[in-house]
Each structure stands twice: as structure tokens, then as C-alpha cells.
Amino acid sequence: MSPFNLETCARPNILALQPYRCARDDYKDDGTNILLDANENAYGPSLPTSSSSSLVSLAGLNRYPDPHQHDLKALLCALRNTHAHTPKAIGPENLFVGVGSDEAIDALLRAFCVPGRDKCLVCPPTYGMYSVSAQVNDVALVKVPLLPAPGFGLDVDAIARTLTEDAHVKLAYLCSPGNPTGALLAKADIETLLRHPTWNGVVVVDEAYIDFAPEDASLAEWVAEWPNLVVMQTLSKAFGMAGIRLGVAFASEPIARILNSMKAPYNIANPSSELAQVAVGPEGLAVMRRHRAEIVRQRERLVDELPRIDGVGRLRGGTASNFLLYEMLDAQGRPDNATALAVYERLAENRGVVVRFRGKEHGCLGCLRITIGTEEEVTRFLASIKGVLAEVRGQTPQEGEEAKEKAANGVIA
């Protein structure tokens, strides 16, 4: 018999890894569900035709794709060179293009953090893949929570103090607009960290939802001013291109060169590149902006109508994204995880509406995160949550105790 033993052969940090988890692990799409859990764009891709087949050339699929993606990078620079933050311009030499933002998250950890020694800083509540990638790379996490809701701003003093005291922190991942908070971080706070007088590290601003924020909010072009700044973006959200898995990191030329030197040489498939170029070209941008206007309209509708429903509490984050974070209240009017988890489950199981339970995250007691859908989806969601809340808040005391125990022990995030 082979002496192979997985427990002693595999790396301990990998054996201990808990994979990234989403609501769709529990509730698959059966064709009738409304999926308001993953912050996707319900209006579809930013393409000028309903059929993408005519936009992608099948010629040349026998050849490896362009490893440099210069044309795509030029279009992305044209989009972000607004000169709202600097008179300087960024070019293709400032970009890394990867398989979603997740590739950039991982690449930055491998570039700047020595496994088993260095650390990265995160600000909960925040995107879960920072911690997953850190554990994969055997990089320790340092957590400095965001300031309390509803602002969810950076605790600049606490972060600065941490960076002063711990020289092994090499990266600070900041999510703006935040996930699950939907709050845009203050530019002045980010600048304070960039100006830290002793810290030798990189500030990484994740702008996955930036196109739902106010005009010119993106700091992408600011990398021309700050050699220690990286700004990540994705085509998965406002551009509705989650299926092609394409993300980008804007950085100073030296950092971009490092990231591009590390990546697999042909990491962006030809069809993905061609579709991305259409999406960020003039026609695709026009489609994206029409879809964004519809999403913003439905976002405003939810902000107006959700608080009128008995059992819906406060908006706990901002409105700079394509989702909202709301409290669910128990029968006594208190934000409550058991109530929120029960609402989450009943919406999915009985009404075919899938949202995201976030009550386990720092500062998100009793909260559900709700992706903005189409007008029809929002109408169905509002009717569904009204009915489900009435059911949950009217449950028997025994049912309430069982729900509280389930929420306390549950792993849904």
C-alpha cells in the first residue's frame, strides 16, 4: 500500500481552508428563481446586440491569445482617464488584466507577501476572497473593522497605528464601494494612508462597483500620482459581463510590470477579450449606461418602498452600488439574525427569490444584502418579502427559539 497521507502531505493552511461560499450553493437557479444574491447585472451584458455570436470571431482559435491585451487596455484607460483626480494620464503600461479581480487579489499577495511571515490588512465587513486568497498564500490577516454603520468609513487612526506598529503588513485591501456595505470610502481617508510616513506597503482599492457610484468617483487614474496605490475593477458588475471573468488592476508602471511578469502568458481567452473590447467601446458603454440608469431607478425605488414594509429596519450601508443592505426586525422591532436567516430561507424556498444573508459579518446584525434587479424582479421581491416577514414575525415561540439556534450555529454567509 502507498504511504501517501493527505493530512501530512498537503500544506496545513490549505487543509484548513474553507472555500468561498455563496447563497447559490444552497439555492440553485431552476429557471424560475429571481437571483438577487450575487450582485450580478440583471439587465444583461453591455453589448449592442442580443446575440454575442456575431461579435466574436472564431478565426484564430487555434492560436494562443494576445498575452499583452494592448487594445483592451487602451480602451480601459480611455474610460478611466477623466482627469478628475490628476492632470496626468495612465496608459496600457499601467494595467494588469486578469481572470476577474480575484486573479489580481491573488497576484498581489504573491508579489508582496512572503508566506508565513508577511500579512495583509482588511477592513470587515468586506469581500470574502481577500481572506481566502490570503490563507491559500499562507499570509496572515490583520483586521481593522470599518467604523459603525451607517457610514462604514475607514477607521483611519486605527489603520495608521497598525501600519506603524507592524512592518510585516504589506497590503491593505480597501473595498470602495464596500461589499456588503455599498458605501464609498472617502478619498481623503485613502490619501492619508497613502501618505503614511513609515509604512512600506501597498494600498489596494477594490472598485468592483464603482460605476454605480457618483460620476468620477473612480480613483483608477490616481495611480499616476501614487506609486503605492493599486485600483482593481471588474467587468462583472455594471458591464454585466460576469460570465467572461475579466478584471483589471491599475497600478504604477513598476507594479504593473511585476504583475504582468507573474501571470500565465495567455490568461485572457480570445472570445473574452473581444467581448470585453465591445463592452468598453463606445457602443457597449452606451448600453452599460442605459442599464445603469435602470438599476439606479430601481435602487431608488427600493430605498423608498422597503422601509414602508413592517419588519424592515434601517438601511445599514450606502447607496453607491447595485445592492442594498437592510436590517430585518424581530417582533419586538430589534435587528435579529434569526429573523433575517428565516426570511432569507423562506424567500428562496417558498417564493423563489434568492438574496444574501449577511448577519454573521461585523456590524451587519440582522442584515440581508439585496441585489437590485429589473423592475419586474423588484416588484416580485417587494411582495415576497412583505409576506415572508409577516409569516416569520408571527411564528410561535418554539419556532422562534429554533430559528435563533439555527442562526447562532449556521454557516451561511
Domain ranges of the chain: 12-41+288-409, 62-280
pTM of the model as a whole? 0.92
Q: What are phi and psi of 282, to 5 degrees?
A: -55, -45
Q: What is the total residue count of the chain?
A: 413
Domains 12-41+288-409 and 62-280 share a fold: no
List, in sequence order, every residue forming a beta bridge with 143; answer none if it has no partner.
Answer: 122
Q: What are phi and psi of 392, to 5 degrees?
A: -65, -40
Cβ neighbours of residue 241 closer than 8 Å, sequence gap 6 or more:
45, 46, 235, 275, 276, 279
Q: What number of H helices and E strands is found in the chain? A: 13, 13
Give, to the nearest 10 degrees, the angle between helix 187-194 and helix 156-165.
10
* Separation of CA 120 from chain center: 17
Are 384 and 347 contacting, i.e. CB atoms less than 8 angstroms apart?
yes
Give the separation between CA 327 and CA 333, rounded to whole angstroms.
10
The CATH number of the domain covering residues in 62-280:
3.40.640.10
Tens-binned pLDDT, residue by residue, of the chain (413 aa): 888 888 889 888 888 877 766 655 666 666 688 999 999 999 999 998 755 557 788 878 888 999 999 999 999 999 999 999 999 999 999 999 999 999 999 999 999 999 999 999 999 999 999 999 999 999 999 999 999 999 999 999 999 999 999 999 999 999 999 999 999 999 999 999 999 999 999 999 999 999 999 999 999 999 999 999 999 999 999 999 999 999 999 999 999 999 999 998 899 999 999 999 999 999 999 999 999 999 999 999 999 999 999 999 999 999 999 999 999 999 999 999 999 999 999 999 999 999 999 999 999 999 999 999 999 999 999 999 999 999 998 865 555 556 556 666 654 44
CATH T-level assignment (fold) for domain 12-41+288-409: Aspartate Aminotransferase, domain 1 (3.90.1150)
Task: Write a three-state SS string for 170-216.
Answer: EEEEEECCCCCCCCCCCHHHHHHHHCCCCCCCEEEEECCCHHHCCCC
Give, to the nearest 10 degrees, the angle between helix 270-279 and helix 282-305.
70
Residue 198 CB coordination number (10 Å):
9
